[in-house]
Structure 1
Amino acid sequence: MKKEEILSIEVQELIKTELKAIEGSSLLKITSFAHNYFHINRLEDFFKLIESPLPTDFLPRRMNVYYFIFLTKGNTTRSIGLETYEFGENTFFFVPAHEITTHKFVRNDVQGYYCHFDIQLLAKHTIPKKIYSDFPFLEYNSFPLLEINPEAKSHIVSLLERLLFEYQKGVNGRIEIFETYLLSLFTELQPFVKRLSHNSINAALEITKEFKKALSKNITHKNKVSDYAELLNISPNHLNKCVKSATGKSANDLVNEMLLLEAKVMLKQTNLSIKEIAYNVGKSEVSVFSRFFKTQTGISPTDYRLLQ
């Protein structure tokens, strides 16, 4: 799958607008290539282009680049996997590569920054293991929210503006600036990383949290509650009781929700046939998959794929 096929709708629209202003096919090719590895824009600039978010921007999607949103004004609600997060100003929201994320709510008066990047920009300066130990907000299945204090805001915004200034140079933008300032930005964020004490988390909530993480990572090859109970070293009955206590839903409900997210992403972001998608989400027959999908969404897989 091409990287540009899995960028968020908002970024695709910005790219189209920026590229319209560029003449010459070689320049166009270089600029398009740069977008795949680093991109930054102000959120308010995006909302100058559209009156409101597009319907397709609220569909689940998976990107193969890392991205973050930093709000300086307003609030939004977004999810990663089965976890939903509402956040407001002075807050970063990080999404590691390959996680399924969904926009639940966003107003067009928000302000802040959107940035996506290839992890290799950081890997040139440090080994991969150290990236995740130094910057745990980039790790897969990490807690995605990071709130800064007002005193740090001016330093952080200046770094983001420096990245934006360099990015807007197009083909004249220097990759070493992206690397250095991105690393500086994440270093500025280190003091704001919060690590919850294990004892402060209710046992049922902790098991449910680990269950959701396991679902996000393993759903395409494990789709039974018993598979996850074994993975977590507890009985299926105990897993179900914990999930019910924490969410009001059964463990099987969460399995189905994660299967549905995977199916939606494959329907919109791949060219796989309905039969292949059915197989990938553990449904033996297309009819079984179609019935499951329509029960969960109210529309058929084919109709969902055609949504604009």
Structure 2
Amino acid sequence: MQVLSIKGFYRDLLPDVDLDQYFGDNNTSDIGHFNVFDIAEMWRNSPSKPKMPYNRRTYYKISLVNGRNKVEYADKVIDVEDYALIFATPKVPYRYYPVNSDQKGYFCVFTGEFLSKSKTGTLIDELPIFNPASDFVYHLDRELYDRVDDIFKKMQQELLSDYIYKYDLLRTYLLELVHFGQKLQPVGPSILPHNASSRISSLFIELLERQFPIESTSQRVRIRSANEFAASLNIHVNHLNKVLKEVTGKTTSDIIKSRLAQEAKILLRQTQWNISEIAFSLGFEEIAHFSNFFKTLTSYSPSAFRNGIKS
């Protein structure tokens, strides 16, 4: 699975364009980058765009789409029939591609450093909308679509201005867009940062997600048991179980198994690795143990699941 940088994104999107106009000679480390694109204009210039590969990216992307599209992320496939808002994070590999050629909307790309420069002190990885467990695609009605469309148009207009503080204003528009998305799925009181249980839960999820995505056959999940996670968090396993049950309604083992099964589905769907390589990467010493685990959680053997995807 590839890891696509912001400059790699531009090389794929605009292969004949000099990237100095976007980065300049002194910007070689992708620091603080932001840009907005008009989807309809891109289609006029390149009507036969290929499918984007399923991979992980080093940048963030927010897309407002108007058209029929298919989105693949984690172990999910989502069909978009008309209007949607898509929040893509470096933590979750994905791809989305059009089903028809009648495409409108906008998308913006930015690096984490761009938003970290905000005077509000916002830390992007603390925003619920970019949590790996958050929703990825939000379906919109026409009224909501028009409201988001206005935000993107303000971004596009400001990018062309010569206002000396335009990037501060663009960060404000970006945060407006982020908060608009978060309000589509309000954060419940059980995961507010002031709640001690939710903080332990967040640290557990962060520790779990840090091991993913699996991007090569030499990479391996190292922490797999409830006891190992509790030890890493310096708390008793019974307390970890109690906290996770309180916050998520699930046990520690259930969450770990679910995440391993999710990654197994991704690898079976998106790679050509053999099943023993996938089993090893997910921390299973024996392929039979992995096969039994996968069938228990999905009702399919790994090979049956892979063959079902291809058929």
Q: What range describes the TM-score normalised by the shorter chain of this pair?
A: 0.5 to 0.7
Q: For each residue in 1:163-218, what CA deviation from the matched residue of structure 2 results, as whole angstroms up to 9, or x when unmatched? A: 122335699893223212212333344432256999xxxxxxxxxxxxx9998653
Instruction: Classify 1:31/1:49 alpha carbon distance in 2 versus 1 (closer, same or farther; 3 Å).
Output: farther
Could you tell me how far apart the structure 2 residues matched to 1:260 and 1:80 are?
13
Once the two structures are superposed, what CA deviation does each residue of 1:10-38 show, in whole Å capped at 9, x if it has no partner? x534444553896xxx9854688779711
Amino acid at match of 1:62: R
8 Å CA contact retained: 1:78, 1:86: yes
* CA-CA distance at 1:74 after TM superposition: 1.1
Q: Which residue of 2 aligns with 1:102?
A: 95
- In the alignment, which residue of structure 2 is the partner of 1:183? 175
Check conservation: 1:52, 1:107, Cα contact below 8 A: no
1:52 aligns with 2:48: yes
1:207-263 per-residue CA deviation (whole Å, 9 max, x = no partner) reads xxxxx9998653543289x75998774779x998xx7xxxxxxx9875543345786
Partner amino acid for 1:139?
N
Closer, same or farther: CA 252–279 of 1 in aligned 2, 3 Å: closer
User: Which of 250, 253, 257 is matched with 2:265 structurally?
Assistant: 257
Shift of 1:115: 1.2
Match 1:62 to one of 56, 62, 84: 56
- Give the CA deviation at 1:101: 0.6
Q: AA paired with 2:266?
A: M
The corresponding residue for 2:11 is 12
1:31-90 residue CA offsets vs partner (Å, 9 max, x unmatched): 8877971121011122122232315x2x2111111111111x212111222222222433
Letter in 1 for 2:110: F
Q: What's 1:201 paired with?
A: none
Task: Tell me which residue corresponds to 1:39.
Answer: 35
1:66–1:117 Cα contact (<8 Å) kept = yes
User: What is the match of residue 155 of structure 2?
Assistant: 163
Task: Please state whether the residue corresponding to 1:94 is helix, strand or coil.
Answer: strand
Question: In the alignment, residue 3 of structure 1 is paired with which amino acid?
Answer: S
Equivalent position of 1:222 in the other structure: 221
Match status 1:114 vs 2:107: yes
Structure 1 residues 146 and 255: alpha-carbon distance in aligned structure 2, compared to 1, 3 A threshold: closer
Contact 1:6 1:64 in 2 (8 A): no
TM-score (norm 2): 0.57
The reply on whether 1:142 has 2:134 as its aligned counterpart is yes
- Of Structure 1 and Structure 2, which has the larger fraction of its residues in helix? 1
CA contact (8 A) 1:159 1:181 kept: yes
RMSD of equivalent CA atoms: 5.0
* Residue number in structure 2 paired with 1:87: 80
Unmatched 5+ residue regions in structure 1? 199-211, 244-250, 267-276, 285-291, 298-308
CA 1:229/1:78 → structure 2, altered by over 3 Å: closer, same or farther? farther
Larger CA deviation: 109-118 vs 84-93: 84-93
Which residue identity is paired with 1:121?
F
The equivalent residue for 2:196 is none
**Match for 1:122: what amino acid?**
L
Distance 1:296 1:234 in 2: 28
Identity over aligned pairs, percent: 14
* 1:278–1:28 Cα change, 3 Å: farther
Gaps of 5+ in 2: 191-204, 215-219, 230-249, 286-301
Separation of aligned partners in 1, 2:210 and 2:270: 11
How many residues matched?
Answer: 244
> Could you tell me how far 1:159 is from its partner in structure 2?
1.8
